[in-house]
């Protein structure tokens, strides 16, 4: 049995098990930790598919940055403490599972028809990655996808500003119309404003 086959059959069950673990966990922190495990196994799959750069990016961006952000928000909001007593929608659960099984069967048949269950990846990917995967990817990214790359940087700045605006606690400025409309003796309840 070739080595990459062994690696696949070790990590694919871990990947599916950690995804199921994320679904059944009551505690949001435990679910996030299972999701981190899942992201690591997907990173290993990228390595098997000869994408070492995306393997590193997956670990740094997903398992690192995004999941730290998730855990930070979970702990900031304190939703990990027993809020989830009525968490799963039990009535909907079996319909959801049936739909998921139907989806997997359908895509399984489509993959068998279109790709074939024993089709192996062709040789010659080393020629595509002649100077190394990162260098080859950079060549494609900065030659063919330069404009989308720049648009992405704008998107990231907009997202950072949007997150700051949405999450800041400061009260917004009162407009002149609201000052005019406000009656002198019906000042809003400070509880409501806070």
Chain residues 51-80 in contact with other proteins, contact rule CB under 8 A: 51, 53-54, 57-58, 61-62, 65-66, 69-70, 73-74, 76-77, 79
Token readout for 11 is: 């990590």
Binding mask 13-32 for other proteins (x = CB under 8 A): --xx--xx-xx----x--xx
CA distance 62 to 37: 11
User: For residues 27-47, b (16+ Cβ closer than 10 Å) or e, as one string?
Assistant: ebeebbbbbbbbbbbbbbbbb
CA distance 42 to 71: 20
The residue (of 166 and 179) whose beta carbon lies closer to other proteins is 166
Contact status, residue 78 vs residue 46, Cβ threshold 8 Å:
no
Would you count residue 146 as binding other proteins (CB under 8 A)? no
Tell me which of 81, 130, 156, 182 binds other proteins, using CB under 8 A: 156
CA distance 146 to 121: 28
The residue (of 157 and 174) whose beta carbon lies closer to other proteins is 157
The residue (of 102 and 180) whose beta carbon lies closer to other proteins is 102
Binding mask 81-120 for other proteins (x = CB under 8 A): --xx-xxxx--xx-xxx-xxx-xx--xx--xx--xxxxxx
């Amino acid at each position: 049995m070739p080595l990459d086959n062994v690696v696949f059959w070790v990590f694919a069950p871990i990947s599916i098990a950690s995804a199921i673990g994320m679904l059944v966990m009551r505690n949001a922190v435990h679910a996030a930790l299972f999701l981190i495990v899942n992201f690591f196994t997907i990173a290993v799959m990228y390595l098997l598919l000869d994408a070492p750069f995306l393997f590193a990016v997956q670990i740094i961006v997903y398992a690192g940055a995004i999941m730290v952000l998730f855990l930070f928000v979970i702990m900031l909001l304190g939703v990990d403490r027993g809020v989830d007593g009525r968490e799963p929608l039990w009535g909907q659960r079996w319909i959801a599972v049936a739909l998921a099984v139907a989806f997997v069967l359908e895509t399984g048949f489509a993959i068998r028809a279109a790709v074939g269950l024993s089709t192996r990846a062709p040789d010659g990917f080393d020629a595509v990655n002649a100077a190394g995967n990162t260098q080859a990817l950079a060549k494609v990214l900065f030659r063919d996808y330069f404009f989308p790359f720049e648009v992405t940087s704008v998107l990231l700045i907009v997202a950072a500003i949007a997150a700051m605006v949405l999450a800041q606690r400061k009260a917004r400025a009162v407009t002149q119309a609201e000052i005019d409309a406000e009656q002198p003796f019906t000042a809003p309840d400070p509880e409501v404003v806070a």
